[in-house]
Amino acid sequence: MIVDVTTKNMKVLECFSSETRVRIIELLNEKPYNIGELAEALGMSSAIITKHIQKLEEARIVFTENTVGKRGTQKRCSLNVEKMTLVLRTAENKKPQSGFTVDLPVGQYTQYKVRPTCGMASSVKRIGMMDDPRYFDDPERTMAEHLWFASGFVEYRIPNFLVGQETASCITISLEICSEAPYYNDNWPSDITFSINNTVVATWTCPGDFGSKRGQYTPEWWVDTQYGLLKVLSVTDEGTFIDGVRFSDVHIQQLHIKTGQELLFRIACPESAANCGGVSLFGKNFGNYPQDIRVTVSV
């Protein structure tokens, strides 16, 4: 999660002005808690903890769900983000940059090799038969808002709108993504590898396949995986970063981005991965974030 330090993001920034809320985050980093357990751990009343949780939930740092406990229905609290990067120098204060941005629907891949469990769904229906890789060739795949596979890859061709002597200084790709478990499993690690122009730039371990809470934009008829995590992959002249954290030494020059040549972006979970937990991708009408795969190339 990347947050610009501006007044527009006060709901998020104010969460860290309270020692109690920071202590709640520390506890939830260990495991989910219900309100009563947090109150007991912090020596406070449930009413006070509830108010703090509401602020954290409004900032989308924490998500809650109602579960059945020994004393009736309980509100279970979990962290909604893994990492947060605060950006002090926002885009408004930077020098204008040229380049381009394109949004790729998740079903607009140009090459694939997947193994079950696998499938696709648009915002209104499932596309083809589930767990049959042949349907990844279905013409309706371009309407997909959600796709998943247990192992393999999907690859996208990114149009290159650089002109003249322009040289790419950074490529940033943001997407909503998680693991792929049968039905769903919040604890289902998956080693997901990202490649650009046939060069592996990073491997990130996703913690799970999330379905215990309904995705904000997920259609009401959908009952399986609900949402993913928004990840921001950046390759600069200093290396490769995910959510501002350095993942590899691969730098922008190694990707050989040239004017007039399209870019290839591959998302893979090899069968040989230590955690072969699959991949789930979300478009703008599924999950928690109203966007497709967004690619920005800066010069």
Q: Summarize the confidence of residues 186-215 as an average pLDDT.
A: 96
Residues 135 and 207 in one domain: yes
Residue 1 pLDDT grade (very low, low, confident, very high; cuts 50, 70, 90): low
Q: Is residue 85 part of a domain?
A: no
Q: Is residue 84 part of a domain?
A: no
Distance CA 13, CA 5 (A): 8
Q: What does residue 45 show for φ and ψ, rounded to 5 degrees?
A: -80, 155
Q: How do residues 20-70 score in pLDDT, each as one tens digit?
A: 999 999 999 888 899 999 999 999 999 999 999 999 988 889 888 877 766
Q: Is residue 34 part of a domain?
A: yes
Residues 101 and 65 in one domain: no
Domain termination site, one of 24, 53, 79:
79
Q: How many residues does the chain have?
A: 299
Q: How do residues 136-147 score in pLDDT, each as one tens digit?
A: 999 999 999 999
Neighbours of 204 (CB within 10 A): 18
Q: How many domains does the chain have?
A: 2
Q: Is residue 90 part of a domain?
A: no
Domain of 119, in residue numbers: 97-298
Nearest to 153 by CA among 190, 102, 123: 190
Residue 95 pLDDT grade (very low, low, confident, very high; cuts 50, 70, 90): very low
Residues 196 and 63 in one domain: no
